[in-house]
Every structure is written in structure tokens, then in C-alpha cells.
Structure 1
Amino acid sequence: MDPKIPQDEFERLKGRQKEKKIVRKIVLYVGAALIALALIIGISAYFYVTNALKPVDENNKVAVKIELPIGSNLDSISQTLEDKGVIRNAKIFKYYTKFKNNAGFQAGTYKIPPSMSVDDIIKSLKTGKVYRKPEFQITIPEGLTLEQIGAAIEKRTDFTSKEFMKLVTSEKFIKEMKAKYPDTVTKAVDGKEIRYKLEGYLYPSTYDFFTKSPTLEEIVEKFVAQTDSMIRSYEPKLKEMKMSPHEFLTFSSLLEREATAQSDRETIASVFNNRMEQGMPLQTDPTVLYALGKHKDRVLYKDLEVKNAYNTYKNKGLPPGPIANAGRASMDATIDPAKTDYLYFVADKKGQNHFAESYEEHQQNVAKYVRSNDSKE
């Protein structure tokens, strides 16, 4: 004890030191408790989710029949799977599917055993591999117009192309599609300059049919339903880009008709975006062909003068609507284009595209890769 410090003051100092030690211990214990609690919650949550994603019964290989109607969304599909006893938790399945960016589930009849893993269930629902053999299939390739799809329908069914076109241009049927798929088939299809309201809304894929004679309405709705499913899978990104489903399908259709490779799609998408940002017309040949209403091997200078809303040489921005159906590759490129400064591109005789940032560089590419004097530059 310092002789200069009174006894009572010394005692008070000792008391304060004890209090500080007690406070430090309390803070330390509380901090440790909070950390331990966070760890316990995190570990518990991890095991809860992990357990929810395990097969319901690894030893039970007896398949359960599951019907997923056309138009089913992720919420209803998840609940159906839980109700049927093939997944443990509908909410965990839904969030896991979203986290893995899996969507585009195929409607149909499935036979899934409780022993199947969640990842395998997702894969099955995406590929549409059903347990029974379909009566027949219809394959709709990418890049087809409605009229071309009608020809494909005529080859695979008893319905004629004329009957198909009558249905897809029917106001009654279009109204039904709007009612069933309001977020996809919107009033945007009613634009006065649009040639066919459902152009681009029939998703290209291979479709299984399990009845020998489905109605034409059932066939076409299946195509529209799949487009709706695809749109939903891109919905968060579309909202971020402030792009409507109609604009998305329109842009994607241009890429589908222009590009020959995935890398081309992404780069061409950047060219289109750059041109629109600078107020330049897109000047894409497929829109001219669509405006002309016929296929040609080469687009000539005189063709560029056609007065039509779809002619992107005469009109800036996107055409009124899609000019064909677009597949996943073109859709992916639309929402995730390359980052470039390109404003021009030209295809050589082999179909390979050559890109340029300036008109002068573009002219050099034209001179180098395009030799035909009567073709458009």
C-alpha cells in the first residue's frame, strides 16, 4: 500500500478493480455464449437442411406414381412430391431447387421411388423422363416460325397445317392462353403490327404424348406451357434487366435466327445492345426475311427497302414481336450477353461471324470475307 493513499481510498480502488474483473468476465462469458449459440444454430440448420435433402427411404425402391399437370409451378410441384412421400420437406426442396438455379420442370406422369435422391428427382423432372412409354413424340426444333411448326405438326399428327394456323390465330384460343399464363402471354401480343400473336411463344423441345389422339388445343398448349415455365426460370434476371417477357422472346428470336454458335449468340447480343444504346438500327437480315414473308439464301439491297414494322433496317429498336421460336442457348445469351464494344458483324460463306467496333473495320471484314458482288454488305 502506498503510504500517501488513505486507507479508505485504497479500499475503494481495490473494489473498483474487482468490479472491472467481474465485468470483463461477464462480457467474456456472454460473448462466448453468443458465439456458441450461433454455432449451435448454424450446425443445427445445416443438419436440418442436409437431412431434409436426403432420400425419404434409401431401402424403399417401390416407385410412386406422380402426376404433374400442365401449368404446375414450383410450389405445387414441391408440395405434391412431399404429399406423395418422395421428398422430406417441400419448402427445403423448393429453396434448394431455386438455389441450384434449376427450373423448367416438365409436366407429365412420373414414377419416383422414395429411395431417389433430390438431385436425381430434379434431373428427372427437368428432362421429362416419364416411367411409361409415350404414344408418340413431337419435336419442335429451334428457330421455327409458326407456319413451319404447323408443317411439323402436320407430319406427326392427323391435324393439318391449316388447322394449326387457324387455332394459333384464333382470338378465343389466345384469350385462353392469356388467362392460363398471364405472366407470359400478356397484352403485348396484341400490338397492331404483330403478324402472329403467338409467334415465338411455342417453345422448341421434344414433347411426349401419352394418349393416341390428344386435341390440337392440348398439343399447342403444351408448347405454350413450356414457354411459360422457361420464362419463370428467367424471371429474377428479367426483372433486374427491366425486360418484359415479350421483349425477351423477341430479342432471343433474333439471336436464334442470326447465330450459329453459343459464343456468337453472346457476342451478337452485345452488338444488338450496343446498337440500341447508341440509337442505331439493329439491321439484322432475319427480320427482313420475316418482313418479306419468305426464305431467301441472300438478302439483296432492294429487300432492305421493304416497308414493314419487322424490317430493322428501316425501324430502330426491336421488331414488334418474335420472328421465330428461341431455344435455351439464345435465351441464356439474351440475359447474359458478352461485354464488347462491337457494333458490326458479317458472316462469311461458312457461316462464321466476324465482328468489328468501327465501320471502317467492318468494311475490311466485308472485303475480306464476302466476295459475292450482288449480296448485301
Structure 2
Amino acid sequence: MSKNFLAAVIAIIVFLAGWLYYQFYLPLSPGEAPEIFVVEKGSGLSKIASQLKEQGLIRSRLFFSIYVFLRGGQSDLKAGEYSVFASMSASEIADKIISGETEGLKITIIEGWNIEDIAEYLEEKGICQPENFLEAANGSAGRAEEFDFLEDKPERNNLEGYLFPDTYWIKQMASPEEVIRTLLGNFGKKLTAEMREEIRSQDKTIFEIITMASLIEKEVATDEDRKIVSGIFWKRLKNHYPLQSCATVAYALGVDKWRYSVNDTQIESPYNTYKYIGLPAGPISNPGLSAIKAAIYPQESDYNYFLSKPDGETVFSRTLREHNLAIQKYLK
């Protein structure tokens, strides 16, 4: 073997070793600012490598995948939210995802849940005790300084309606206050400047809109139906007719029923829109974006009544006679 050939082999080995070290162990950037990287449940190695590359956190999808494979961790990649620094090497990022060093717990707040529903859910997820969450949600003093959309909310009301339904990553031992601030912060982002301006132009308050949206959220399910129901409800308020929302009776009673008796509709409560004309005393649920938009942008129609069939379909009527016939047909 010639000396030149041996030197060439050594040079290639040194080059490859340096190249692999560069790919596996040197960070992409010296930056210290953390970036959140989310691994969704069911994501495989290829998808994770592609996402890391797209976010500019690794140099090469191939070498990241090779490292994970050589480490035997391709089946151990764990879903979760990770705090990743650009100063971390590909191997450090891989090790973190394999070990499951997540930054939080994934929770999903469902549209239409009320505060008590959220409190029970957070207990199930092991985040906080329901009574502690409810106590924190009842305290509104000073919050409007940080969250300006709360400025027109009456002080007597808790945060019902403003705890925005969405999927979040929450710290394992997050305090009730931290959870609430996260949900309120998201609400503020979702209620855009354009939407706020439209509310002002209608001479309405955010509190009124969210209260209306909370009814719409509980009454009907589709975007189109919500717009029509919104138009019906605002029309009733304009004409000084009672809203007669069964969802408000359910909230006042504290129990959901398929049908409500006459006695049910006479329950003494400021939330009972059968007994009292006008909006209820406050939101009855935490509405999603679709219901909020429906409350802001109602659809005018010649309908005055509606009901939901057992299969969830909404039946609209123009006259009370039509509505009563629909009740006999679908709800008897």
C-alpha cells in the first residue's frame, strides 16, 4: 500500500469524522432565544425531521434521522411541546424528543363548555383543583389593565365567556392563574381589531357580543345556522321580545334536558330568557370563534323561530303556527 493511498484514506476518514461531527454535534446557530417545537401525537421520524428543518432548527433531515436511528430511538419519539434553542445541536434536540423532556401538557377546551366544565377537566388532567380554578376565575379585579376586552364586563361577573376554547400546551404544574392568563391571552388574539371595530360601529359592547355568542354556541352547531339564529335573536331584542333560549334555562337549572317544562321556563334567575326580556345576566358558556363571528355578523332573514331536531338539524319557521307544527312533528 503506497503512502499516498494511505494518506488519502486517512484524509477521507478525518473529513467524514469532521462532517459527521458538524452534522450531529455542532449547533446550527449560537442564538439563545428559545423556540417552541411541537411534536403531534402519531408523528413519525420523517415528519419530525422535516418540521425541524422547516423551522430552521437542524441542518439536515437525513443526518437527524440517521442519528435517531443509530441511537435506536425511532420508536421512542414522544409527542409534546419542546423548548428548543438554535444553539442546540441536532443530537441534543433528538435526545430531548426521545427522552420526552416536554415543556407542557396538551389540553383541549371544547366550544360551549362553561367554567365548571373547564374546572372539572383541568382536575382530570391533573393540573389543578376545581375549587382553586373557580376561585381564580371569579377574581376579575385589575384584569382589564392587561386584557382590555374585559373593560365593559360587569365586575359582578366572573370570566365565563372569555376563556377561549382551543388546544393549548400547559405546564404540568401550572397554577389556575397561569391557565386563565393563557386562555384570556388567546381570546385577545382571536378578537381582532376589525371585529372590535365592527362591535363599536353597532353600538354594542364586547360583553353583549360574548353573551349572545354563548347562547348561539349552545343552541345550534353549524356556521350557517348560527348566523341565522343570531339574526333571529338580535331581531327579538330589537322588538323587545323575550329570547326564549332553552340554553339559558339549562344554565339556570344547572342541568341539560331534551325538553323543558313550563315550570322549568319560569325558574327565577337573571339568566332565564323566558322569564325576562333582554340578554341574560352574562355569558352561559365559553363560545368559539364561529359563534362569536355569528354574534357580530348576523344574517338577516324572515325567520322568527327555530328548533333543533333530535338529529341536530335546525328547522326554521316564519310564523308561530309553522313553529308549533314543527314542534308537533319533530319533538313530540
Task: Give the TM-score of the pair, scaled to structure 1.
Answer: 0.60
Secondary structure of 2:233 counterpart: helix
The residue aligned with 2:91 is: none
One-letter amino acid of the counterpart of residue 218, structure 1: E
In the TM superposition, residue 184 of structure 1 has moved relative to its aligned partner by 1.2
The residue aligned with 1:274 is: 235
Distance 1:64 1:257 in 2: 47
The residue aligned with 1:162 is: 131
CA contact (8 A) 1:64 1:113 kept: no
Residues 1:175 and 2:144 are matched in the alignment:
no
In the TM superposition, residue 294 of structure 1 has moved relative to its aligned partner by 2.5
Distance 2:32 2:198 in 1: 34
The residue aligned with 1:228 is: 188
The residue aligned with 2:116 is: 147
In the TM superposition, residue 130 of structure 1 has moved relative to its aligned partner by 7.6
Instruction: Tell me: CA distance 1:63–1:236, structure 2 relative to 1, closer, same or farther (3 Å).
Output: farther
1:306-325 matched pairs, under 5 angstroms: 306-325=267-286
Secondary structure of 2:169 counterpart: strand
Distance 2:31 2:201 in 1: 39
Selected match of 1:296 from 243, 247, 257: 257
Instruction: Tell me: CA distance 1:164–1:206, structure 2 relative to 1, closer, same or farther (3 Å).
Output: same
Secondary structure of 2:149 counterpart: coil
In the TM superposition, residue 316 of structure 1 has moved relative to its aligned partner by 1.1
Distance 2:135 2:274 in 1: 31
Q: How many residues matched?
A: 247
One-letter amino acid of the counterpart of residue 178, structure 1: A
The residue aligned with 1:261 is: 222
The residue aligned with 2:174 is: 214
Unaligned runs of 5+ in 2: 1-27, 36-53, 58-80, 85-101
Secondary structure of 2:168 counterpart: strand
One-letter amino acid of the counterpart of residue 299, structure 2: A
The residue aligned with 1:356 is: 317
Distance 1:64 1:275 in 2: 58
Distance 2:32 2:217 in 1: 37
Distance 2:262 2:247 in 1: 14
RMSD over aligned Cα atoms: 2.6
CA contact (8 A) 2:152 2:207 kept: no
One-letter amino acid of the counterpart of residue 110, structure 2: P
In the TM superposition, residue 293 of structure 1 has moved relative to its aligned partner by 2.2
CA contact (8 A) 2:243 2:273 kept: yes
Distance 1:66 1:332 in 2: 36
In the TM superposition, residue 339 of structure 1 has moved relative to its aligned partner by 1.8
Distance 2:120 2:161 in 1: 16
In the TM superposition, residue 356 of structure 1 has moved relative to its aligned partner by 1.1
The residue aligned with 1:189 is: 154
In the TM superposition, residue 238 of structure 1 has moved relative to its aligned partner by 1.3
Instruction: Tell me: CA distance 1:206–1:313, structure 2 relative to 1, closer, same or farther (3 Å).
Output: same
Distance 1:64 1:364 in 2: 69
Instruction: Tell me: CA distance 1:220–1:302, structure 2 relative to 1, closer, same or farther (3 Å).
Output: same
Secondary structure of 2:230 counterpart: helix
Q: Report which of the two structures shows the higher radius of gyration computed on alpha carbons.
A: 1
Percent same amino acid among aligned pairs?
A: 28
Secondary structure of 1:362 counterpart: helix
CA contact (8 A) 1:66 1:112 kept: no
In the TM superposition, residue 64 of structure 1 has moved relative to its aligned partner by 6.7
Distance 1:228 1:217 in 2: 16
Distance 2:307 2:294 in 1: 19
One-letter amino acid of the counterpart of residue 331, structure 2: V
Instruction: Tell me: CA distance 1:160–1:366, structure 2 relative to 1, closer, same or farther (3 Å).
Output: same
Unaligned runs of 5+ in 1: 1-60, 69-110, 115-128, 372-377
Distance 2:29 2:196 in 1: 36
1:1-377 matched pairs, under 5 angstroms: 132=84, 133-170=102-139, 174-181=140-147, 183-191=148-156, 194=157, 197-209=158-170, 211-233=171-193, 234-371=195-332
One-letter amino acid of the counterpart of residue 261, structure 1: T
Segment of structure 1 superposing worse, 264-273 or 228-237: 228-237
CA contact (8 A) 1:271 1:343 kept: yes
Distance 2:29 2:279 in 1: 52
